[in-house]
Amino acid sequence: MSIFSGAGGLDIGAINAGAQIVVCVENDPDAAQTLRLNNIGGHQSAVLEKSVETVDFTHWRDDSETILIGGPPCQPFSKNGYWVKNDNRLIAGDPRNMLGQYLRAVSELQPTGFLFENVESIRHPTNIAVFERFLHDAEAMGYACTVYRANSADFGVPQKRKRVFVFGIRGAKNPIPHPHKTHSDPGKPELMNGFAPHVGVGSFIKKYSGQRYAEPQEDASNGTYYHELIHVPAGKNYIALSGLDNYSGRTFRAGGRFWNFLQKLHPEEPAITIAAQPGPWVGPFHWDNRRLRVPEVAAIQTFPDDYKFAGNRRSIQKQIGNAVPCLLGEVMVRHLLEKL
């Protein structure tokens, strides 16, 4: 059972890991339609277009081997929230904090195991008390919990995307071990230890470089910072401008902008994290000095080539940016299934 399903990144991963999706719960109309377009769950009625808060999970409780997967909304735990003073953030009372609803689903469904996903910053000092309460309550319900911080690039995804996973196993005496990563940063030889090098984006998005896939939104040539963008070397961001020879244009103080400002892809390196709602000059940009196309963004998130997305361009970007990379989801779900 999948809750907070979004566009189905974790669901696709679960299917590829050998699980069968019985039902998805997603309240965003476009994301729910995306799930239907791709036949997630095998039939249209498998997608419940409603808030998790309104679902009675006891309906699906049975004696078979069932797992619950999902990532509650991460906005309350996002790094963007660090600009707000701690005494004004009220994480525990934030209506977008759905950790309690995830626990209710666990309590009512009583799955054999669960996989919880969220942003890395859920473990930030501002958020850690809420997260530790989540773990305490899950363990009180009889689940041994393993917390794992994953970088998707360490599992063959062409993107550096850090996420926290919690593996819960009902009735287990001890937490399960962490998954074994398969790739590592070749720029840090001391960490390779026989791992394959991180995968670059080039081989994933090359097929979408022709005019057939061109989008009006990709053109940045009339924008405020286009002159600066074309001078940023592949794989770098705005900071690189200060070190260029024979460059005549604006430079920016290091730390004066968000790190992803004017960030550009390098074909032989993983992308930075794909954002759900990027600003106009937030990367990654293509090394051809344009914004990325929908199939390119989806490929970096390792969605299947023929995956369909519902909604307008803004909605699709949000769906893809909020998703768990399918390949990372596959590895995590398979690890859970193997330990049940």
- Catalytic residues, by residue number, are 74
CB atoms within 10 A of CB 177: 11
The C-alpha atoms of residue 211 and residue 17 are separated, in whole angstroms, by 35
Ramachandran quadrant class, 110 (left: phi over 0; alpha: psi -120 to 50; beta: rest): left
Supply φ then ψ for residue 116, to 5 degrees.
-110, 135
The C-alpha atoms of residue 263 and residue 157 are separated, in whole angstroms, by 19
